[in-house]
């Protein structure tokens, strides 16, 4: 008498993660659903993490234990490379691909900072999307399609786009729910001081704006020079008048 046993036990699965980069902001969103086979075990899981003092975002899809293992490995690489996201991502995927234990992990990661948005896999892939949109997990096609449409036809920022796209994916994918967690990182714009340092201005601004700043700085400098010349002329006139008084014989006293 024979009995049938499944080849593997059902595993915890977590989906969907969407990343969008627009302008100086990157947003990462994940739903809260965790399933074990066909059973929903959790509705409010957090699949997005902030790393490196909030400067880096990471989200996972796949087997939960595997993803958490990869989180730890990625954070170690990030610290080793002083927050260099691209280098840490490449080193993680190299280790993930070649290590016999890590190669068995069934998960994917999306990692992001204000400059880069990357998807990592155990196949050795480090992929940066051309349009600043990437998604992983069961609802990835739906979330990606919605985000592409919103980027093309609206002026919404990155956070608003991922929230709207995840809502659409939740309506279509049975493995995605509407309990979202969203994290964002952005590059803060800095005001450039007009201190007459044209080289510093050119490093901070586009060419046209740099030329404008340099011109304004030169005009200010010329005005300052004119004011200095006027002051010198007035001082010279006062000195001449004083000398005439000193030389006046009716004054009765000599001045030194």
Which residues carry out catalysis?
15
- Say how far apart CA 78 and CA 87 lie, in whole Å: 8
Which residues make Cβ contacts (< 8 Å) with residue 31, sequence separation at least 6? 15, 16, 47, 139, 166, 169, 170, 176, 177, 178, 179, 180
**How far does the chain reach from its first CA to its final CA, in angstroms?**
129
Q: How far apart are CA 24 and CA 69, in angstroms?
A: 30
State how far the Cα of 143 lies from the Cα of 166, in Å rounded to an integer: 6
Query: ∠ CA 182-153-130 to the nearest 5 degrees?
Result: 65
Residue 146 and residue 149: Cα distance in Å, rounded? 5
Task: Look up residue 46 and give its DSSP letter.
Answer: -
Q: How far is the C-alpha of 68 from the C-alpha of 133, rounded, in Å?
A: 23
């Amino acid at each position: 008498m024979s009995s049938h046993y499944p080849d593997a036990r059902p595993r915890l699965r977590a989906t969907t993660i969407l990343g969008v980069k627009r302008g100086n902001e990157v947003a990462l969103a994940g739903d809260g659903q965790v399933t074990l086979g066909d059973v929903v075990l959790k509705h409010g899981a957090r699949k997005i993490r902030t790393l490196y003092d909030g400067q880096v975002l990471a989200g996972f899809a796949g087997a939960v234990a595997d993803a958490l293992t990869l989180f730890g490995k990625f954070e170690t690489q990030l610290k080793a490379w002083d927050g260099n996201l691209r280098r840490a991502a490449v080193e993680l995927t190299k280790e993930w691909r070649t290590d016999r234990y890590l190669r068995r992990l069934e998960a994917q990661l999306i990692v992001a900072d204000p400059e880069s948005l990357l998807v990592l896999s155990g196949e050795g892939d480090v992929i940066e999307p051309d349009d600043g949109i990437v998604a992983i997990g069961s609802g990835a096609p739906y979330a990606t399609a919605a985000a592409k449409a919103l980027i093309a036809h609206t002026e919404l920022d990155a956070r608003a786009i991922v929230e709207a796209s995840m809502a659409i994916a939740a309506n279509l994918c049975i493995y995605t729910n509407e309990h979202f967690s969203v994290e964002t990182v952005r590059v803060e714009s800095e005001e450039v001081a007009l201190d007459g340092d044209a080289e510093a201005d050119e490093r901070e601004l586009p060419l046209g704006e740099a030329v404008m700043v340099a011109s304004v700085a030169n005009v200010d400098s010329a005005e300052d020079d004119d004011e200095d010349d006027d002051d010198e002329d007035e001082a010279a006139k006062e000195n001449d008048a004083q000398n005439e008084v000193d030389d006046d014989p009716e004054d009765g006293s000599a001045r030194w």
